[in-house]
Amino acid sequence: MSRTVLVTGGNRGIGLTVARAMADAGDKVAVTYRTGTPPEGLFGVRCDVTDPEAVEAAFDEIEAQHGPVEVLVANAGIIRDALVPMLAVDDFAAVLDTNVVAAFRVAKRASEGMLKARWGRIVFVSSVMGFMGSPGQANYAASKSAMLGLARSLAWELGPRNITANVVVPGLIETDMISDLSDRRRDELVRQTALRRTGTAQEVASVVRFLAGDDAAFVTGAAVPVSGGLAMGL
């Protein structure tokens, strides 16, 4: 089955891996990219998800090319780490703006077409840090736990129209995002991981694909960890 898929932040890391996995499975995949060039072989739309006009224009372009978005993967995210005394309010707000407000913005826009079609899948990419908290990441953790309340509210609102909203909760995944992590913090987190290793973007993509597919038709409002056991039970 070929669905119209949009992956935000789909030019690298987890987003790109999800986009490629869904394209390989036969979906019509569009990705947003904020910087650089669109990934080869995928339909890329330049879009900063914090810019309302850019998001509107991106949806228009995707709809013209592929039709209404049926599967949304709200993946774009940033970190701006600092301990609270040093954490500027602007950096707190910027992380919330990209990670939650923009996720809401794209979900709201995508849900218009999904409501008309009476079918849709929304997957938010959260983080274990939203559940366990993390020193130096008050902004990031706040943004990632907020995604759960957002997803569960959407699950209630959209469920009657056969639209699911779920959250994947990755642990430590090898991408650019963790490249600046100190060895000490990395070792500490790996030690707290039952499988004693970091994960791959592919391992996250498999779960996103499941949540976006027919096999997950009765799964909504769920927070699915992909963390090797890091933060299990939270």
Q: How far is the CB of 32 from ligand NDP (least distance, A)?
A: 6
Q: Does 33 qualify as catalytic in the annotation?
A: no
CA distance 117 to 115: 5
The residue (of 12 and 161) whose beta carbon lies closer to ligand NDP is 12
The residue (of 4 and 137) whose beta carbon lies closer to ligand NDP is 137
Q: How far is the CB of 105 from ligand NDP (least distance, A)?
A: 10
* DSSP letter, residue 173: B
- Specify the amino acid at residue 85: P
SS3 content of the chain, % helix, strand, coil (to 5): 50, 15, 35
The residue (of 116 and 176) whose beta carbon lies closer to ligand NDP is 176
Which residue among the candidates 72, 134, 140, 172 is catalytic per the annotation? 140
Where does this chain bind ligand NDP (CB under 6 A)?
A: 8-9, 11-15, 32-35, 48-50, 75-78, 98, 125, 127, 170, 172-173, 175-178
Residue 171 is encoded by which pair of tokens?
Answer: 């642990």
The residue (of 72 and 177) whose beta carbon lies closer to ligand NDP is 177
Residue 154 contacts residue 167 (beta carbons within 8 Å): no
Q: How far is the CB of 66 from ligand NDP (least distance, A)?
A: 19
Residue 196 contacts residue 231 (beta carbons within 8 Å): no
Q: Is 94 helix (H, G, I), strand (E, B) or coil?
A: helix
Q: How far is the CB of 85 from ligand NDP (least distance, A)?
A: 23
Residue 189 is encoded by which pair of tokens?
Answer: 């987190």
The residues that are catalytic are 140
